[in-house]
Structure 1
Amino acid sequence: MKVMKKVWDPAVRFFHWSQVALLAGLWYTGTEGLMEWHQLLAYTLAAVLLARICWGFYGSQSARFSQFAANPLKAIRYLRQPEPVMGHNPASSYMIFALLLLVLLQFVSGLMTTDHIFTDGPLVRYVSSDMVSLATRWHKLGIDILLIAVLVHIVAAIWHSWRHHNVIMGMLHGKLSAPDELKVPAPKTGWSFFGLVLLFCLAFYWWQGADLIRILSY
């Protein structure tokens, strides 16, 4: 007999859906040239991302990197013979790491990016012109790579939900179906994660908030 068991904590679910919304906002503001709002969303996403990285080391068992990181052979075997997993499966772990890395690279490169007209990243003045040029080129290319990775992730999630676990709904309510006798560690509440998000937001505000507010008030 299978029952619904809580697997995903509020921190993981918040990170997942806020990343979707913030990436959509970043793509739109970047495309439309709304660079002040683009920067504001970028700092918000960076705060959530950094908190998630920290949560990956001390958070709920299903959220820890050590629990879902798998060697390539396990990922290949899983793709050949998929089976329900109480958490991130061996193949999806690689996509998660890729998305985290791509978002982090987008943020760091954005700090060193310039449009040579109105907007310079806060680190442009501290790095060489070659580094600025490289960061600017990557920032423009990286968003396309990131969006392709997100599309692959969405297709894989839909396929997995159809064939095995409904992971899409699981990311909404945090539950997956599992045999009644299977012991699933109870997720943490995640309050310290949200505390970290606030702390990182305050740090970015202390660093760049005054300039952003001054620009947005014009």
Structure 2
Amino acid sequence: MKQYLIWDLPIRLFHWLLVCTLLALWYTSENGLIENHIKCGYFALSLIVFRIVWGVVGTRHAKFTAFFPTPSRLKKFLIDKREPPGHNPLGALMIILMLVLIGLQATSGLFIDDDVFSSGPYYGVLSSELEKIMNTIHHNGFDFILIASAIHIAAIAYYRVVKKRDLIKPMLTGKKPDNDVNEKDGIAHSKIITFIVAATIVGFFIYWLVVLNAPVIEEFYY
């Protein structure tokens, strides 16, 4: 059985690093490891920004134009039931939802503090009303991420048990067998040079955002 490369290395790294980061965020939050939690939050934000960039400059199946769930794509998938080589429209909806949820969670953390030890780099720059909104988002958003993750895991189990299709192995190896995809669906390589450049730019951007550009809030004590 022939195997064809569908998922590039950057997509696979993004996927599994995001899984590990979400687990780390949960663990550090539950155990009061606030400084580590903040660093994990910065890394999560880096991953989300990178995925958005890679959705523009990445390989064929990684690009948003290849899988964005337009009404016509959703209708065709629901009627024909044919799986595309990359993300199907329902899976694409989940990807967009997770990007939005995790992006909101990481971004809101930049503007809040824990009233005890630490605060985000942009805490104090918003009005009290907006800070309350950011607090609400951050302290409730992870529940929605957990729900979305549970749905995602359930979908993987459904494909494995009912459709007899393994979605985990291709996300490890990057390859799908020829009974699922055709030779023309495969990609030649993972665009590693583009990946290095994109990841470097995103890294510098996040460093600028949370360190270099972070405002110094004056505090006065009476």
TM-score range (shorter-chain normalised) is 0.7 to 0.9
Q: Distance in 2 between matches of 1:159 and 1:191?
A: 36
Amino acid aligned to 1:143: F
> What is the alpha-carbon distance in structure 1 between the residues aligned to residue 165 and residue 198 of structure 2?
30
Instruction: Please say if residues 105 and 141 of structure 2, whose CA atoms lie closer than 8 Å, have aligned partners that are also in contact.
Output: yes
Amino acid paired to 2:116? I
Q: Do the aligned residues in 2 keep the contact of 1:30 with 1:38 (CA within 8 Å)?
A: yes
Gaps of 5+ in 1: 211-218
Show the counterpart of 2:219: none
The structure-2 alpha-carbon separation of the partners of 1:80 and 1:152, relative to structure 1 and needing over 3 Å to count, comes to: farther
Deviations 1:44-77 (A, max 9, x none): 1211221111110121000000101122464365
Seen in structure 2, the aligned counterparts of structure 1 residues 25 and 150 have a Cα distance that, compared at 3 Å, is: same
Name 1:183's counterpart in structure 2. 184
Partner of 1:149: 148
**SS of alignment partner, residue 165 of structure 1:** coil
Over aligned residue pairs, what C-alpha RMSD do you find?
2.2
CA distance in 2, matches of 1:175, 1:110: 36
1:130 aligns with 2:129: yes
Unaligned runs of 5+ in 2: 213-222
Contact 2:4 2:178 in 1 (8 A): yes
Aligned equivalents of 2:31 and 2:10: distance in 1?
Answer: 31
**Residue 183 of structure 1: SS of its match in structure 2?**
helix
Residue in 2 that maps onto 1:213? none
Identity %: 31
Instruction: Tell me the residue number matched to 1:199.
Output: 201
Mark the CA change 1:44 to 1:191 in structure 2 (over 3 Å): closer, same or farther.
farther
Count of aligned pairs: 209
Distance 1:207 1:105, change over 3 A: closer
Q: Which residue of 2 is the match for residue 166 of structure 1?
A: 166
Label 1:112 to 1:16 Cα distance change in 2 as closer, same or farther (>3 A).
Answer: same
Note if contact 1:51-1:193 (Cα within 8 Å) is conserved in structure 2: no
Runs of 4+ in structure 1 deviating by more than 6 angstroms, as ranges, are: none
Instruction: Read off the aligned partner of 2:57 and give its amino acid letter.
Output: Y
Deviation sequence 1:14-33 (CA, Å, 0-9, x none): 00000000011011111211
Distance 1:77 1:164, change over 3 A: farther
Output the amino acid matched with 2:130.
M
CA distance in 2, matches of 1:138, 1:205: 23
Change (3 A) 1:80 1:151: farther
In the TM superposition, residue 181 of structure 1 has moved relative to its aligned partner by: 5.5
